[in-house]
Structure 1
Amino acid sequence: MTQKRGQRFELREHTADIAVEAAGDSLEDVFAAVADGLAAASCEDVPAEIGDRFSLSVTAESREALLFDYLDELIYLRDVRVELPVDHRVDRIDDSENGDADRWTLEASARGVPLTEIDAREVKAVTYSEMRLERVDDEWEAYVVFDV
Structure 2
Amino acid sequence: MSFELREHTADVAVEAVGESLDAVFGAVADGMAAAMCDEIPTDGDERFDFSVTAEGREALLFDYLDELIYERDVRVVLPVDNEATVSAPSSDDGPNEWVLSGSARGVPLERVEARDLKAVTYSEMDLSETDDGWHAYVVFDV
Question: TM over 0.5, yes or no?
Answer: yes
Q: Work out whether residues 77 and 83 of structure 1, in 8 Å CA contact, stay in contact via their aligned partners in 2.
A: yes
Specify the SS of the correspondent of 2:29: helix
Among 5, 10, 14, which residue is 1:11 paired with?
A: 5
Cross-structure match for 1:71: 65
Cross-structure match for 2:140: 146
Q: Kindly report which structure 2 residues correspond to 1:45-56, keeping only aligned pairs within 5 A, or say none.
A: 45-56=39-50
State the alpha-carbon separation in 1 of the partners of residues 107 and 89 from structure 2.
Answer: 33
The residue type equivalent to 1:79 in the other structure is: D
> Shift of the alpha carbon at 1:93?
1.0
> Shift of the alpha carbon at 1:136?
1.1
The residue type equivalent to 1:114 in the other structure is: P
Structure 1 gaps of 5+ residues are 1-6
Q: Work out whether residues 61 and 101 of structure 1, in 8 Å CA contact, stay in contact via their aligned partners in 2.
A: no
The residue type equivalent to 1:96 in the other structure is: P
Cross-structure match for 1:31: 25
Cross-structure match for 1:3: none
Cross-structure match for 1:89: 83
Specify the SS of the correspondent of 2:27: helix
Among 104, 117, 126, which residue is 1:132 paired with?
A: 126
Cross-structure match for 1:60: 54
Question: Once superposed, which parts of structure 1, at least 4 consecutive aligned residues long, lie more than 2 Å away?
Answer: 97-102
Q: Work out whether residues 123 and 146 of structure 1, in 8 Å CA contact, stay in contact via their aligned partners in 2.
A: yes
Specify the SS of the correspondent of 1:33: helix
Q: Work out whether residues 11 and 19 of structure 1, in 8 Å CA contact, stay in contact via their aligned partners in 2.
A: yes
State the alpha-carbon separation in 1 of the partners of residues 136 and 36 from structure 2.
Answer: 18
RMSD after superposition: 1.3
State the alpha-carbon separation in 2 of the partners of residues 95 and 136 from structure 1.
Answer: 18
The residue type equivalent to 2:26 in the other structure is: A
Among 105, 115, 118, which residue is 2:109 paired with?
A: 115
Among 7, 12, 36, which residue is 1:42 paired with?
A: 36
The residue type equivalent to 2:29 in the other structure is: A
Query: Alignment length, in residue pairs?
Result: 141
The residue type equivalent to 1:69 in the other structure is: D
CA deviation string 1:48-75 (max 9, x = no partner): 1131101110000000000000000000
User: Which is richer in strand?
Assistant: 1
